[in-house]
Amino acid sequence: MAVVMAVTFVVADQAVRPSAAAAPNPVAPANLALATGYNFNGQLGDGTTTTRNIPGPVVLPEGVTLTNIDAGHHHNLAVTSGGQVLGWGQNAYGELGNGSTSGIVHIPVQAALPSGATVTQVSGGYHYSLAVTSDGRVLAWGQNTQGQLGDGTTTHRDTPVEVILPDYVTVTQITAGRYHSAMLADQPTSSTSLTADPTHAAPCQEVTLTATVTCSEGDPSGTRHLLERRPADRRRRPRRERHRDPDHHRPGRGPAPHHRPLRGRHCPPSTSGPVTVTIAAEPPTPACT
């Protein structure tokens, strides 16, 4: 009597973030920022509220160089070569991200980024700000009346909070509107194949299952689940938890589900097709152990 068993390998759903993002059209660090125009709210960053019709220098902290800059409604943002964010101008809603709502800031101040965050691009909106981090996350702060910060609330933020992105998504570019935000993102893919050796086994013979996971970005991450599909004419026996290497399955005995983390990041879940193992006969009496 032949027994057919199919086992499926699943990289389980585990929310992780994919690969690093880069600012669009990256530029060499610049040691000078210029601004011109209306300056009632200090948005020119020169320490005054004097409107200018020709560009003048922004008062940057000593030794700072910039890689990205953007103008908001009444405030400006810039990214330093070290991945920090500077802001100046109107701050009534915390759009400068420095933990205050001080009204007007005439020279650049540093935003209070989360620990370890490195920013590559910024975008200024109507009393709010967005930033992309080097690992593809998005930070937002300032006015949030219409949910433009994307954090699941309509609460104004005076320090950066993380935007709630779909799982496995890497954001590469952002833009802030008046009361809404938009972004470009990449979503990695994965595939899983499963093989058995041998595919025709004797009773009690161990069968090695080998799962190969291919990711477009990053490494496999999550949990392995080995799922058994029994023939319809075979009675299901009670399943017991067994502490056994999940890469080995003893034919003829119902395997317990196995959960082993696959270390790494950035790879979304995928499911293999089934693999068939044919057992030559039922196990002898007494049954194998």
The dihedrals phi and psi of 37, each to the nearest 5 degrees, come to 115, -150
Q: Which two tokens stand for residue 180?
A: 């809404």
pLDDT of amino acid 270: 83
Domain shared by 145 and 236, yes or no = no
Highest mean pLDDT among 1-10, 103-112, 232-241: 103-112
Query: Binning pLDDT at 50, 70 and 90, where does residue 124 land?
Result: very high
- Is 146 in the same domain as 38? yes
Tell me, yes or no, whether 72 and 166 share the same domain: yes
**Of 186, 206, 223, which residue sits at a domain end?**
186
Containing 70, the helix (H) or strand (E) segment is: strand 66-71
Residue written as token pair 């008046």: 178
Q: For residue 121, is pLDDT > 90?
A: yes
Residue 254, pLDDT score: 40
In a domain, 285, yes or no: no
pLDDT of residue 226: 60
pLDDT at 214: 86
- The pLDDT, as a whole number, for residue 20 is 41
pLDDT at 63: 94
Task: Please answer whether residues 226 and 249 qualify as being in contact, where contact means their C-beta atoms are separated by less than 8 angstroms.
Answer: yes
First to last CA, the chain: 20
Same domain, residue pair 199 and 170: no
For the segment 221-272, what is each residue's pLDDT rounded down to a tens digit?
A: 556 666 555 554 443 343 333 333 434 444 444 433 333 333 334 677 888 8
What is the Rg, in whole angstroms, of the alpha carbon atoms belonging to the chain?
Answer: 28
The H or E element containing residue 55 is strand 52-57
Buried b or exposed e, range 145-174, using 16+ CB within 10 angstroms:
eeebbbbeeeebbbbbbebebeebbbbbbb
pTM: 0.68
pLDDT tier, 85 (very low <50, low <70, confident <90, very high otherwise): very high
Whether the Cβ atoms of residue 264 and residue 45 lie closer than 8 Å to each other: no
In a domain, 261, yes or no: yes
Question: Does residue 248 contact residue 260 with C-beta atoms inside 8 Å?
Answer: no
In a domain, 151, yes or no: yes
pLDDT for res 93: 97
**Mean predicted lDDT score pLDDT of the chain:** 80
Q: Answer whether residue 95 shows pLDDT above 60.
A: yes
The answer on pLDDT for 118 being more than 50 is yes
Q: Same structural domain for residues 159 and 209?
A: no
269, 146: one domain: no
Alpha carbons 153 and 176: distance in angstroms, whole number:
17
Given 157, 186, 215, the domain boundary residue is 186
Q: Are residues 43 and 172 in the same domain?
A: yes
Domain span at residue 257? Answer: 3-15+189-279
Q: Is there a single domain that holds both residue 173 and residue 198?
A: no
pLDDT for residue 229: 54
Question: What is the reported pLDDT for 202?
Answer: 86
**Is residue 45 located within the same domain as residue 144?**
yes
Which of 165, 186, 207 finishes a domain? 186
Q: Specify the residue for token string 């040691």.
A: 31
> CA–CA separation, 140 vs 122, rounded Å?
10
Question: Which of the four pLDDT bands, split at 50, 70 and 90, describes residue 215?
Answer: confident
Residue 138, domain member (yes or no): yes
The reply to whether 254 falls in a domain is yes
Please report where in the chains the tokens 């161990």 appear, as a residue.
206
User: Which of the pair, 189 or 95, is modelled with greater confidence?
Assistant: 95
Same domain, 181 and 41: yes
Q: How confident is the model at residue 217 (pLDDT cuts 50, 70, 90)?
A: confident
Predicted confidence band at 185 (pLDDT cuts at 50, 70, 90)? very high
Helices (H), the chain: none
158 in any annotated domain: yes
Domain of residue 81, CATH code: 2.130.10.30
Into how many domains does the chain fold? 2
Percent of the chain topping pLDDT 90:
52
Query: Would you state the pLDDT for residue 60?
Result: 96
Q: What is the reported pLDDT for 221? A: 59
* Digit-coded pLDDT (tens) for 17-73: 333 444 445 567 899 999 999 999 999 999 999 999 999 999 999 999 999 999 999
Same structural domain, 261 and 147: no
Distance of CA 50 to the CA centre of its chain: 43
Q: How far is CA 24 from CA 116, 137, 184, 185, 209, in A?
A: 21, 15, 10, 12, 44
